[in-house]
């Protein structure tokens, strides 16, 4: 469905992923540096993927490939789970002095939660999150792909469901989430039938199925019964005269021209 993407709302993060970072006098200086370093890592990851067809297994591979300074790699860690998280190794300080809570040199009577800079590999967003939230975030990422794949996919489907066509930021956020959903489906296929089955269950989810019906047919090995179900979802959405219906009809035509109709028998 890439050719007829529905762009989605500006990036919205929900549930345990929703977090605000309260800047402090010193951490205001650390924050842009942390985000800049993660931006450099993200660029290096994407360059490596274009060169090798997959993401690197470690930050050291980026250093060895000449894509990332060793100093930046040394300040960050990479989770072993999928979805993988790259994050700043050290937390931001929890206590600050001076600033908006007191005179210069006076200890602030406010405790600021420790925070980390973090990035989900393959996603656009780079965030500063509190340590407590980050721990839960990391625990979720360390879980198996099989257990986390549905929630991971649905989070992007939510972004796409809140589309604002007149807002370019919304369009860009949607495109990034559509790409991420394709990546999730492709990884599930590589992982095996159990992971794909977790995604198939999302065909009952009204947020996920408009996207998932196409992507399961395009990217996974599914039974004829599931394929027929996916095509039925697309056919239902193809009814009508709107932009979305037109896009669905175009997709069905291309799929059938490619021999997909015979597979669905």
Strands 76-78 and 115-120: unpaired
Least confident interval from 3-17, 74-88, 104-118, 201-215: 3-17
Which of 8-22, 164-178, 181-195, 203-217 comes out lowest in average pLDDT?
A: 8-22
Length of the chain: 265
CA separation, residue 98 to residues 91, 94, 112, 130 (Å): 20, 14, 13, 21
pLDDT of residue 60: 92
pTM: 0.48
Answer yes or no: is pLDDT of 1 > 80.
no
User: 61 or 112, which is more confident?
Assistant: 61
Report which of residues 87 and 108 the model is more confident about. Answer: 87
Range in 103-112, 198-207, 230-239 with the lowest mean pLDDT: 103-112
**Can you give the pLDDT at residue 105?**
47
Q: Which residues make Cβ contacts (< 8 Å) with residue 211, sequence separation at least 6?
A: 1, 157, 160, 178, 181
With vertex at residue 74, the alpha carbon angle to CA 72 and CA 76, rounded to the nearest 5 degrees, is 75
Residue 2 binned pLDDT confidence (cut-offs 50, 70, 90): very low
Q: Is 245 exposed, middle or buried (0-12, 13-18, 19+ CB in 10 A)?
A: middle
**DSSP structure class, residue 106:** S
Residue pair 19/129 in contact by the 8 Å Cβ criterion: yes
**Mean of the per-residue pLDDT values of the chain:** 76
Over the stretch 8-63, which tens digit does the pLDDT of each residue have?
222 222 222 223 333 444 445 677 888 899 999 999 999 998 898 888 888 999 99
Q: Is the pLDDT of residue 147 over 70?
A: no
Rounded to an integer, the average pLDDT of 223-245 is: 91
- Taking 50 as the threshold, does the pLDDT of residue 107 lie above it? no
């Amino acid at each position: 469905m890439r050719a007829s993407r529905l762009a989605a709302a500006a990036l919205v993060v929900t549930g345990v992923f929703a977090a605000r970072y309260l800047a402090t006098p010193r951490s205001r200086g650390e924050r842009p540096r942390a985000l800049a370093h993660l931006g450099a890592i993200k660029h290096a990851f994407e360059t490596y993927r274009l060169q090798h067809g997959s993401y690197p297994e470690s930050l050291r591979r980026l250093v060895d490939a000449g894509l990332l300074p060793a100093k930046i790699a040394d300040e960050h860690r990479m989770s072993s789970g999928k979805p993988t998280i790259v994050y700043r190794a050290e937390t931001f300080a929890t206590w600050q002095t001076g600033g908006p809570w007191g005179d210069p040199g006076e200890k602030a009577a406010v405790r600021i939660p420790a925070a980390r800079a973090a990035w989900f590999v393959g996603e656009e967003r780079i965030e500063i999150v509190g340590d407590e939230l980050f721990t839960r975030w990391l625990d979720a990422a360390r879980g198996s792909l099989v257990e986390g794949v549905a929630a991971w996919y649905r989070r992007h489907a939510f972004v796409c469901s809140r589309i604002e066509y007149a807002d370019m930021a919304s369009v860009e956020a949607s495109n990034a989430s559509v790409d991420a959903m394709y990546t999730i489906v492709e990884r599930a296929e590589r992982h095996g039938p159990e992971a794909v089955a977790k995604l198939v269950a999302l065909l009952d989810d009204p947020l996920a199925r408009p996207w998932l019906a196409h992507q399961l047919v395009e990217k996974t090995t599914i039974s004829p019964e599931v394929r027929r179900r996916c095509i039925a979802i697309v056919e239902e959405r193809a009814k009508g005269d709107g932009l979305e219906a037109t896009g669905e009809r175009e997709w069905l035509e291309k799929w059938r021209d490619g021999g997909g109709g015979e597979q669905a028998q």
